[in-house]
Chains A and B, each alone.
Chain A
Amino acid sequence: MNAQAPTDLRTLSYAEAIREAMAIAMEADPTVILMGEDIGVYGGAFQVTLDLIDRFGPDRVMDTPISELGGAGVAVGAALTGLKPIFEFQFSDFAMLAMEQIVNQAAKLRYMLGGEASVPVVFRLPAGSGTGAAAQHSQSIEAWFGHVPGLKVLQPATPEDAKGMLLAALADPDPVMIFEHKLLYKMKGHVPAGSYLTPIGKALLRRAGTDVTIVAGSIMLHRALEAAEKLAAEGISAEVIDLRSIRPIDHETILASVRKTGRLMVVYEGVKAFGVGAEISAMVAESDAFDYLDAPILRLGGADAPVPYNPDLERASVPQVDTIEAAARRLVRREV
């Protein structure tokens, strides 16, 4: 994925990279604990924690009862008082049961207490559609948390970033939510050994181009890159930016790209309305980059519906390579 791979070409899956980050952190820091449903002997619903219980024992790899509100709240309280919990929601959809503790408590404690308190909790949230799990197990709700001052919201697209972001989140004194895409868990890629931090709040130019800027995160990055490759064959040069961080959002990288290409497309899996695309579009419209636009901004997001069960409907409800490609073509040829 990265143009110049370092000397060691170790390859891990996205899930393995996350597990490696947790293991590194737990070895280095006895205050790091894992909490979540079925993360012990079961190894996690997506087998991310896998055998960590064998390495660190049940006191540090804690199976919680099915109590999201309480469990997340216990993690917040522990973070407030000296532990560094990594709390896994079995599916990001279940974070809705814990909204109170995430939004009213974790996000606001530092501020409400005038900077006297710190909540260094990390929430891991498997997200996204494509598994046939229907409306309550397939959502992409990361943008919801972008609306909450006090939280940091990340979306790794590669194994390398999945590891680096988790380590960065643990090093961060504030609550961080990491949305992991379920379809990426098995994806392999180069992952540096040892500890390294992926900077929070930095987007990354993944492919340079001149005709259109495509901003995409998580699995949409891969679809956008594939679409860009196809577009190149017909003479359209797309620049692809990996958003990586929803909050804070990297204005500079996006604006610089738009000034260069004059066209912007934002691709995301969450419901299109009121989503990540709205924030990025407004940010461009409010900046000097607006003057560089040669075409209206285009958002490509999830359908205005819950995620359906039927596999064909499910595919059709979120952006795919072909829909990204077609939308970019329309934008560049000014058919919008």
Chain B
Amino acid sequence: MTLPDNRPFAIRHFAPAALREALKKMYLIRRFEEGAEDSYMRGLIHGTMHLSIGQEASAMATCMELTDNDKITSTHRGHGHCIAKGAEVGRMFAEFFGKETGYCHGRGGSMHIADVKTGNLGANGIVGGGLPIAVGAALSAKRLGKSDVTVCFFGDGANNEGAFHEALNMAAVWKLPVIFVCENNGYGMSTSTARSTAVTHIADRAAAYAMPGVTVDGNDFSAVAFAMHTAIARARAGEGPSLVENLTYRWRGHSKSDRNRYRSKDEIEDWMTRDPIARFRAELIAHGILDEAGAEAVAAEAIADVQAGIEFARSSTAPSISEVTRYVYAEV
């Protein structure tokens, strides 16, 4: 008689090398954002940025089963999505530093970070802006007979935009291969979901659009990966869209100008004890995927990548001022 396999979904489902790579990318997201924050403080990056520190499992586990042909639409808090989908941190830093070698040739910055070649259709400065676009990408896949899916990241705040409701309805009516992934970190800027949203869970709204909706612990890599596995299988099978809600928390302020007046220090500290990276690392060690030394090596690789990325960005050249209007239209 064989015993049931009680190991977490991710451990059962993914190869050790893939799990190791996932941990590496989660470290890379964390170290990338710390590097960006530090560069901002030192005046190397201007504007503002929205850090996803504390939300790395949501980004990474969501993207585990996606290929470069699958698309994502991302948000203003999109650095993690970009790295999880396969972007290089050097070109991301170059973008933040406003360089020509950046993913958007210095035109977009943090809020528009994208890597179209790995299927990332872009972060978005407009809350909810990506929702209908994701439905359009799914429509393309369906009409063009491809098995690609589109994952649409959005925040809890975005679920109160009209675009959210219109997008979900069309996706359901046309049975499109799109997965709506709500990263519910409890707040849209300073406004808690309790003060902004009539339902308790964003996933409750899936019922209004006749699609499955699940709420999972977004800091639990395996829980997110399993929810996504189910939703992606449904999408690829032509059965239509799903909504996955990852409950998580952002450790940093909303942007660089946040005084954190709307939440308590205790709340922030409590969530910091539920670090998704530490949790995933412990899980990998507990199930023998890595040992302590192996995990340390992964963490060190991420630091080295970030340092090399910053070097690349700093030594890159800036776009020429004479090219302000370049990329407005196609070059013919």
A binding-site residues for B, Cβ under 8 Å = 37-38, 40-43, 45, 63, 65-70, 93-94, 97, 131-137, 303-306, 308-313, 316-317
Contact = CB atoms under 8 A, between A and B. Distances in A.
Interface string B173-198: 00000000000000011110001110
B132 interface: no
B158 A66 contact: yes
Nearest to B258: A42
Interface of A is mostly: loop
A133 B190 contact: no
B323 to A, nearest CB: 8
Contacts of B107: 134-135, 306, 308-310, 313
A66 B157 contact: yes
Interface stretch (B52-60, B122-130, B205-213, B232-240): B122-130
A261 to B, nearest CB: 31
Which of B47, B95, B124, B259 has the most chain A CB atoms inside 10 A of its CB?
A: B47
Contacts of B48: 131-133
A65 B126 contact: no
B144 interface: no
Nearest to A44: B190
Contacts of A303: 324-325
Contacts of A135: 107-108, 112, 125
Contact of A310 (B158, B162, B319): B319
Tell me whether chain B's interface is mostly helix, strand or loop, or mixed: loop
12 contacts: A38-B191, A42-B261, A42-B262, A63-B191, A65-B160, A66-B127, A66-B161, A70-B162, A93-B126, A133-B48, A134-B47, A313-B323
Contacts of A311: 46, 98
A93 B191 CA distance: 20
B197 A65 contact: yes
B231 interface: no
Contacts of A306: 107, 328
Contacts of A316: 321, 324
Contacts of B318: 310, 312
Contact of B162 (A43, A63, A67, A132): A67
A42 B190 CA distance: 6
A63 B190 contact: yes
Contact of B324 (A40, A45, A69, A305): A305
Contact of A313 (B126, B257, B319): B319
Given A40-B190, A65-B191, A132-B109, A313 B162 contact: no
Nearest to A40: B190
A90 to B, nearest CB: 8
A94 B125 CA distance: 10
Nearest to A311: B46
A7 B304 CA distance: 63
Contacts of A133: 47-48, 111, 125
Interface of B: 46-48, 95, 98-99, 104, 106-109, 111-112, 124-129, 157-158, 160-162, 188-191, 195-197, 257-259, 261-262, 318-319, 321, 323-325, 328
B199 to A, nearest CB: 12
Nearest to A42: B190
Contacts of A132: 46-48, 109
B108 A134 contact: yes
Given A66-B127, A134-B109, 6 more contacts: A63-B191, A132-B47, A135-B125, A136-B112, A308-B107, A309-B112
B324 A65 contact: no
A82 B95 CA distance: 49
A97 B126 contact: yes
B125 to A, nearest CB: 3
Contact of A41 (B46, B111, B161, B261): B261
Contacts of A40: 190
B227 to A, nearest CB: 24
A119 B143 CA distance: 46
Given A134-B47, A135-B125, A306-B328, A313 B104 contact: no
A285 B127 CA distance: 43
A42 B47 contact: no
Nearest to B163: A97
A308 B99 CA distance: 12
A275 to B, nearest CB: 16
B128 A66 contact: yes
B161 A305 contact: no
Contacts of A42: 189-190, 258-259, 261-262
Residue among B111, B195, B324 having the largest count of chain A Cβ atoms under 10 Å: B324
Contacts of B98: 309-313
A97 B95 CA distance: 27
A97 B108 contact: no
A308 B112 contact: no
A97 B106 CA distance: 26
Contact of B125 (A67, A134, A305, A317): A134
A67 B124 CA distance: 16
A92 to B, nearest CB: 13
B82 to A, nearest CB: 15
Contacts of A97: 126, 161-162
**The 3 A-B residue pairs with the shortest CB-CB distance in the complex, in nearest-first order:** A132-B47, A136-B125, A309-B109
Contact of A131 (B47, B129, B189, B319): B47
Nearest to A46: B257
